Amino acid sequence: MTTPDPLQLACPQCNAINRVPAAKVGDAPACGRCRSRLFPGAPFVLGAAGFDAHAQRSDLPLLVDFWAPWCGPCRTMAPAYAQAAALLEPRVRLAKVDTEAEPALGARFAIRSIPTLALFLRGRELARQAGALPLQAIVQWTRQHLPS
């Protein structure tokens, strides 16, 4: 995958677009607006208001877990998904979309079953996987679908 330098990265807290030199992505960069860490080491909550900043305007792949609080398999997969952030960041950003709180996003992406993982890069969906996965399967599936 060829990436521009500097990279555009949306902040997981305020959704501001930050320009970060590619060589500094691994150095725990902070948001220029709110000073939050751009890579929190855990999946961040993503809503409709910030979705496009992360999925379309950011230069790094975004892995999204579409889930709901009442979903047993979603709750079962949540710890593994959280652990995957430590293994995939800073090459991939990880977010969670609660389809109950954000039904428009579920409808926009035709989410028919949960949990569903979807991998995005610059506005394009690269891959989708329905069903709960263990940690290693999440990491392997994600890496398998990243552009080279």
Mean pLDDT to the nearest integer, 110-128: 97
Active site residues: 71, 74
| The pLDDT value given to residue 3 | 53
pTM: 0.94
Q: Which tops the pLDDT comparison, 30 or 1? A: 30
* 110: exposed, middle or buried (Cβ count in 10 Å: 0-12, 13-18, 19+): exposed
27-86 pLDDT per residue, tens: 999 999 999 999 999 999 999 999 999 999 999 999 999 999 999 999 999 999 999 999
Task: Count other Cβ atoms within 10 Å, centred on residue 148.
Answer: 4
